[in-house]
Amino acid sequence: MSSEVLIESSDGILTITINRPQAKNAMTLAAATQIAAALDDLDGHEDLHIGILTGAGGTFCAGMDLKGFLRGERPSIPGRGFGGLTHRPPKKPLIAAVEGYALAGGFELVLACDLVVASEAAKFGIPEVKRGLAAAAGGLVRLPRQLPYRIALELALTGDMFPARRAYEYGLINQLVPAGQALEEAQRLAKIIASNGPLSVAASKRVIVESQDWPSSEMWSKQASLTDHVFTSQDAREGAAAFAEKRKPVWQSK
């Protein structure tokens, strides 16, 4: 029996592939558990700098496995959320590489990622209202932060699918590529990010994610608490030295 999630690491990039193509990569508890463990590895290993989440067989994820739901199974991990991701994304950057359908919980996985590369043929949506459910794994709270308010409300209330081109035009997608090239482009983007200082990347992500709720009177002090260590790190000296010596830096995450 094949694994429901495939894990591969190379050049500091951890690639997580949902591997249930016969079921449009619908999420199960077993797959969610494996994804959560992979994300723990991403954050826990200094030689891993960034992750990519994708799906096998030309589909990202069609949402919760409804057969499992009817058996009483919910593909969520306590403290981690749907797919082991939506409630607690990793500290390190995570890119969604989307082909085909990213629907319901599958779309909510995308919304929990930091960057999105999608095929021109990809389709997004939170159709939970069509099934008497609610997009409670992040769709209802993250969509209004990542799309214009009325567009987010339209998607939530109609449950209709949203084409990749329209999502790109609203800024939901970073890169739009021909069908079959989402993973390749995500890997290219990941290599660029992985070549940068790991302390700098982690601190930059944290400030951008957390600063959305900071009052203006506190933003500079809060930013300093998350970035001061970057300027005094060995990596900061290495970055300056490498620039002066016209060579690639050798990061130590220190």
Q: Quote the tokens at residue 90.
A: 């990793």
pLDDT reading at 250 higher than 60: yes
pLDDT of residue 226: 94
| DSSP H/E element including 102 | strand 101-103
Task: Concatenate the DSSP letters of all residues of 180-213 into one string.
Answer: T-HHHHHHHHHHHHHTS-HHHHHHHHHHHHHGGG
Name which residue leads in pLDDT, 220 or 74.
220
pLDDT at 1 over 80: no
The 10s digit of each residue's pLDDT in 107-150 is 999 999 999 999 999 999 999 999 898 999 999 999 999 999 99
Q: Which residues are catalytic?
A: 108, 128
Dump pLDDT digits (tens) for 164-175: 999 999 999 999
Tell me what pLDDT residue 2 has.
62
Between CA 6 and CA 109 the distance in angstroms is 17
Mean pLDDT within 23-34: 96
Give me the residue spans of the domains in the chain: 5-194, 198-244
Range 95-100 average pLDDT = 98
Compute the average pLDDT of residues 147-163.
96
| pLDDT category of residue 81 using cuts at 50, 70 and 90 | very high
* pLDDT(161) > 90: yes
CA torsion through residues 190, 226, 228, 252, sign: negative
Q: Which alpha helices (H) appear in 86-245, and where do they start and end?
A: 105-112, 139-146, 149-158, 164-169, 182-194, 198-210, 219-231, 234-244
Q: What is the pLDDT of residues 45-73, one digit of tens each?
A: 999 999 999 999 999 999 999 888 788 88
**CATH number among 3.90.470.20, 3.50.50.60, 3.90.226.10, 1.10.287.3510, domain 5-194:** 3.90.226.10
Look at the block and give the residue holding tokens 């995500």: 186
- CA atoms lying within 13 Å on the CB side of residue 222: 14
Residues in the chain: 254
Specify the pLDDT at position 22.
95
> Could you tell me the end-to-end alpha-carbon distance of the chain, in angstroms, rounded to an integer?
42
Q: How many of the other CB atoms lie within 10 Å of CB of 30?
A: 16
* Burial (Cβ within 10 Å: 0-12, 13-18, ≥19) of residue 49: buried
Q: What is the pLDDT of residue 70?
A: 82
Q: pLDDT tens-digit profile of 181-217?
A: 999 999 999 999 999 999 999 999 999 999 988 999 9
